[in-house]
Amino acid sequence: MARMLKVRPTKIELVRLERRLALSRRVHKILKDRLAILTTDFIATARRAITARERMAGAVRRATTAAGVAEGFHGRLQLELALADSQGGATVMARTRNLAGTRVPQLQLVLPERRLPPYDLVLSSSMVDDAADAGREALSAIIVLAELDRTLELLGMEIQRTKRISNALEYVVVPALERTIRALSMKFEERDREEKARLKHIKVLRSHATAASY
């Protein structure tokens, strides 16, 4: 059973409680609508994350295979030197965007403008280019997945927070206000009945007194 609020039993306080109840109901409706939007965005993001995870896994496999082929042809040391030079200058730009009222990350991989390979073209082969391209693809897929995973985490936290507030309003605040308002209303109705009965009794006594005076 919902608890009653400790308030002064006055009609002004009753008006204030009725206003609080109306506001609480409006806020609860807004939160329910927001929760539906958050849940929809969470499901859509989860589906994108599944696709991105599969794409990332495939890109990493291709990069591993390409690197293994190039390593078998050139040797580990020469391949590492060539790839270190070819991947230099890559950066990740981090921003935020608003998604259903929640700030979520927006990551972008920025690669340097591609020119002639910085490694020796005579001693290397197209296998190094293939390994470098596959590595860039894998890195891009990892960045996309990292953004989606973090977005899912933040949306999940916001959904839980919104649920807690919505449940508190629905099961604690609103029932307490309703019960307090009912109790005060019944008390005031009882007072009005007692006052009417008292006035009626006084009227009867006056009429008897008037009749006795004649």
Name 104's bridge partners. Answer: 97
Q: What is the pLDDT of residue 118?
A: 47
pLDDT above 50: residue 109 = yes
Q: Say if residues 106 and 158 touch (Cβ distance below 8 Å).
A: no
Neighbours of 53 (CB within 10 A): 15
Domain 11-202 in CATH 1.10.287.3240: yes
Among residues 51, 154, 147, 173, the alpha carbon closest in space to that of 100 is found at 154
Q: What is the pLDDT of residue 82?
A: 64
Q: What is the CA radius of gyration of the chain?
A: 36
| Interior angle at CA 165, CA 23 and CA 158, nearest 5 | 125
Q: What is the pLDDT of residue 122?
A: 42
Which comes out higher in pLDDT, residue 1 or 206? 206
Q: What is the pLDDT of residue 5?
A: 80
| Token pair listed for 141 | 């897929």
pLDDT in tens, 15-53: 999 999 999 999 999 999 999 999 999 999 999 999 999
pLDDT in tens, 177-210: 999 999 998 888 888 777 777 777 677 667 766 6
The average pLDDT across 119-131 equals: 62
Mean of per-residue pLDDT scores for the chain: 84
